[in-house]
Amino acid sequence: MKTKQEQFLLAIARIEKFSPAPMILARAMKLLRDPQSDVDSIAQLVRRDPSLVADIIRCANSVYYGGGDAAQSIEGAVQKIGFRETISLLNVAVSRVTASQDLRSYGISADDFWAESLFNGLFLRNLAIASGTVDSDEAYTVGLLRFIGRLAINQVISDLGGGLFWQGKESIAEWERQSVGFVQSEAGAILLAKWQFPREMVQAIAGQETPTQLPEPNWLAEALGFASVLFPQGLGLPMHVALTESQPISKFSSEFIRKSGLTPAKVEALIATTREDHERIRQNFA
């Protein structure tokens, strides 16, 4: 009989192969760091996955991007909305692919999984823009993929015959550790490393629960930890409802706010902006 660790590795391998989309996004993040990259390079990369091509063309032609002459190809879509906006769209499209299935063991529907992932991505992007600390596109990606490790844990439980369900009586992390012996941040970091995301992003996912224990400072990990204070898991609410229930400002991490050059009032404004962005994007990708 396979051990939980062996089941874990098998689940990681299975998820790694289920779609080329995350690997395409990882390569896109490298293009973002390359000053020689241009619209042709991102178009050629996206063309490897027909579903991503269709999503980006459709969204580029939507009212969200001003309508106008419809792009007929991925090259036309990229030319229409630009290099960086294409990467933003690619982020959303990839997150939709990775959150396309119900997480039955968590009691989380695919729609709630994507809603929570998207909210985290948008919030981290807005934090990065406001603080000027890191590239906002990288922050967006880290937030969107924050809970990707849940896929592996859900798959492990399924492979073991199922029957394990988070009931909301303890934190999700505690339930994960008790059920399979590891937490989603560990699983997510392994997936991102296999997909060849930049090292800082892999470390951010790995250290999101304990950012101060990382060997070197990582603002992205600290931002994920900050988001978890504002929007804690385990409230016993549907995820799309829980996202509207941010915690009082007294519970914010004052040190993170100070280091990022923010104020409690600015954070409240960022939360409001994130909710507006979240609704617009969900409508655009419905």
Q: Which of 123, 47, 55 is nearest to 89 (CA)?
A: 55
Q: What is the pLDDT of residue 45?
A: 92
Q: Which helix (H) or strand (E) holds 15?
A: helix 4-17
Tell which wins on pLDDT, 159 or 247: 159
Q: What is the pLDDT of residue 189?
A: 93
Q: Which of 62, 119, 89 is nearest to 241 (CA)?
A: 119
**Largest Cα span, the chain:** 59
**pLDDT digits 0-9 by tens, 195-227:** 899 999 999 999 998 898 999 999 999 999 999
What is the percent of the chain with per-residue pLDDT over 70, rounded to a whole number?
89
Least confident residue range of 94-98, 175-179, 180-184, 250-254: 250-254
CATH fold, domain 4-284, is Hypothetical protein af1432 (1.10.3210)
Which range among 75-89, 149-163, 166-180 has the greatest average pLDDT? 75-89
**pLDDT digits 0-9 by tens, 50-82:** 888 998 998 888 888 876 788 999 999 999 998
SS3 category, 179? helix
Average confidence (pLDDT) over 164-193: 88
Predicted structure pTM score = 0.88
The structure tokens listed for 104 are: 């039955």
Angstrom distance (rounded) from CA 77 to CA 83: 10
The residues spanned by each domain of the chain are 4-284
13-27 as b/e: b if 16+ CB within 10 A: eebeeebebbbbbbb
Quote the crossing angle between the two packed helices 136-144 and 219-230, to the nearest 10°.
50
